[in-house]
Structure 1
């Protein structure tokens, strides 16, 4: 067993080193992994058969050991790095970690089968984007778990309006009207599927009603040209690898109004330097489009690729600035930080979409036809583009007519 443990530590070291982890991080991972393996040896537990419950037991033991050594409790975040090291170790030892939850009993297997079929239906027949499928699947698993806990698999055959009302009442607390409307929409989808496949005899979808939402009732956050210029200028002064990366991303956001996923999925081969074009995969519509590679964007990308991007096998353009050097999946934290550093505080949300909204308003003010705006932004329908009309409030005020008689009243 000790020889196997030594081999695992060596594999972990090579794994981290190949991915350019800092030597201090590698040393800490080795230390935490060794302590965990020593605990397994003391308890006569084989690393290939470790379960999540046994990992939790180890941390109870480690906390007691910490208290005995230092006479105090560890900080709430103390376990974060050891758990990360142990997860990597177990992934190397078992091939996959955490393991798939065990399906015990016929109801659990039945529920799992429904989820797999529903996911395939959303992907293959509905053609939904990955983010939409993920949201729908979360709701489906939650609803089926809730229903099966109440009446088992057989309870689907007697599902009624009162049951779906109880589920909506359970989901409602703490949600805004828009979020609750999204829950109702996703629940209608899964209930419709269950009815179509014969698992629910009655179509209950007409009875799943979310809160009333009015067209264009919320005004999205946006930025004006001065604010965008301030953010870009502030980011450009940061010549660190992370600064070069962030400046290139902000240029893409401000110039083209791309979605977060479209930037995160941008690959090296999507930048055609000879033809000065960008190949964009629109995440919501699964469509593709070509954009001209404008000079400020090209210069920012070139600086990042030459001086800021770490060596990695990832084909995505934008990767994490610290190991593991994998593709970025979220831009919200970066955008919020860069807005704050530039002293820009737009009302409402402060994620990457504020640049998308600003780009739409800029094109509206330049009298660009809505169809072209929709094509640039990757919209499937003009209804999506109509949302941005309400952002050009200054333009609407400029053409407003005086109400007759108002000068008399004033």
Structure 2
């Protein structure tokens, strides 16, 4: 409503009515608001209002900009990832974002076509060598992975004569080099205690944190949880994981109690849809994965631990299972790892098992 009021005042100052609002006028308004402050960063905030005015015939639709050949190809690539490779939309979006600079380098001088026929291995290596030093190790590793996937897609589509995926250099970095950063039991208790369960907001946050700590779910898996996924009779929960994998996990009693308390006392009656966790403020739409991450970050700030990422609670759940005597294969089953090597990193924090293979220090202790 504030944006509508500002637009109305700007039209009055310019001596125009809403019928005179066109693409150039919208662009002028956006530039004016940017100069006044950071409240309006792009035209996207105006799209709902403009769409409504266009549907009422008050404002003429803006002329459609010519299609970007790179964006057109990326849309086809994302459909390929979703249909042929079985990746989720969020992952496909990340892959497309990572390889967009590579395709932008292949645009013709007029920007209307992509030069892919002359693509060679040297072009691929040159891009990786120039791009990756600007990124973190994780982002660089994801970039080369996405680039290999794109080059495979281009070959499958017949846009390049041979696959150049093998020409993409690898990013230096040893697997399993770091340590999983879990939280100690007392810190976990401080996180949970920081949620005031006498409010709907605190009731929801407590249920989310309990689910993350006890089951080791990912933020996106908690956000996608639906009411029908909770089988109270059998004590199971259905999890929609990465790659559209659907698996069942046992529902611990404390997790069930926290979720049930939220459903009884915290979830708004006006909640939209069938997702378990929804926004506190209206409209009460489904909570996103970013919203789940924000819950964890806010709890960390309340307890003086700083900003904590939701995935750190997944490490916490794995470490807790190891301390309780679970084996690595059992931990991998709960975390739903596809490869045993992914779970192997937790062997570094299994102190009891490490003591059995540690050799005694030579000589006497000084």
Q: TM-score range by the shorter chain?
A: 0.7 to 0.9
After superposition, give the CA deviation of every residue in 1:344-382 in whole Å (9 maximum; x if it has no partner): 35xxx8211111111112222333233332221122222
Residues 1:42 and 2:1 aligned together: no
Q: Which residue of 2 aligns with 1:7?
A: none
Aligned pair partner of 2:89 in 130, 135, 141 = 130
Tell me if structure 2 keeps the 8 A contact 1:285–1:379: no
Aligned pair partner of 2:284 in 304, 315, 325 = 325
- Root mean square deviation of aligned Cα: 3.2
- What's the CA shift for 1:401? 1.6
- What's the CA shift for 1:250? 0.4
Tell me if structure 1 keeps the 8 A contact 2:152–2:165: yes
CA 1:62/1:373 → structure 2, altered by over 3 Å: closer, same or farther?
closer
| d(CA) in 1 for partners of 2:18, 2:53 | 16
Structure 2: stretches of 5+ with no match in the other structure: 56-60
CA 1:367/1:138 → structure 2, altered by over 3 Å: closer, same or farther?
same
| d(CA) in 2 for partners of 1:252, 1:40 | 54
| d(CA) in 1 for partners of 2:229, 2:174 | 39
Tell me if structure 2 keeps the 8 A contact 1:285–1:378: no
- What's the CA shift for 1:146? 2.3
Deviates more, 1:85-94 or 1:119-128: 85-94
| d(CA) in 2 for partners of 1:183, 1:150 | 25
- What's the CA shift for 1:234? 1.8
Q: Which residue of 1 aligns with 2:330?
A: 372
Q: Which residue of 2 aligns with 1:337?
A: 298
Residues 1:177 and 2:137 aligned together: yes
Tell me if structure 1 keeps the 8 A contact 2:99–2:143: no
- What's the CA shift for 1:258? 0.6
Q: Which residue of 2 aligns with 1:266?
A: 225
Aligned pair partner of 2:261 in 303, 308, 332 = 303
| d(CA) in 2 for partners of 1:198, 1:85 | 39
Q: Which residue of 2 aligns with 1:313?
A: 272
Q: Secondary structure at the match of 1:312?
A: coil
- What's the CA shift for 1:336? 1.6
CA 1:29/1:181 → structure 2, altered by over 3 Å: closer, same or farther?
closer
After superposition, give the CA deviation of every residue in 1:125-163 in whole Å (9 maximum; x if it has no partner): 211233321111212333212211569646211112332
CA 1:62/1:118 → structure 2, altered by over 3 Å: closer, same or farther?
closer
| d(CA) in 1 for partners of 2:348, 2:178 | 9
Deviating runs (4+, > 6 A) in structure 1? 82-85
Aligned pair partner of 1:287 in 236, 245, 250 = 245
Q: Which residue of 1 aligns with 2:66?
A: 104
Aligned pair partner of 2:204 in 245, 249, 254 = 245
Residues 1:58 and 2:24 aligned together: no
Tell me if structure 1 keeps the 8 A contact 2:181–2:315: yes
Q: Secondary structure at the match of 1:128?
A: coil
CA 1:396/1:171 → structure 2, altered by over 3 Å: closer, same or farther?
same
Aligned pair partner of 2:191 in 221, 231, 247 = 231
After superposition, give the CA deviation of every residue in 1:162-219 in whole Å (9 maximum; x if it has no partner): 3223322442243122321221111111112212322222432222113222120122
Q: Which residue of 2 aligns with 1:387?
A: 345
Q: TM-score, normalised by structure 2?
A: 0.84
- What's the CA shift for 1:103? 5.4
Q: Which residue of 2 aligns with 1:401?
A: 359
- What's the CA shift for 1:58? 1.0
Q: Secondary structure at the match of 2:5?
A: helix
Tell me if structure 2 keeps the 8 A contact 1:222–1:357: yes
- What's the CA shift for 1:86? 3.3
Residues 1:140 and 2:140 aligned together: no
| d(CA) in 2 for partners of 1:116, 1:343 | 43
Q: Secondary structure at the match of 2:247?
A: strand
- What's the CA shift for 1:241? 2.0
Q: Secondary structure at the match of 2:239?
A: strand
- What's the CA shift for 1:42? 0.9
Q: TM-score, normalised by structure 1?
A: 0.76
Q: Which residue of 2 aligns with 1:157?
A: 117
The number of residue pairs the alignment matches comes to: 357
Tell me if structure 1 keeps the 8 A contact 2:86–2:243: no
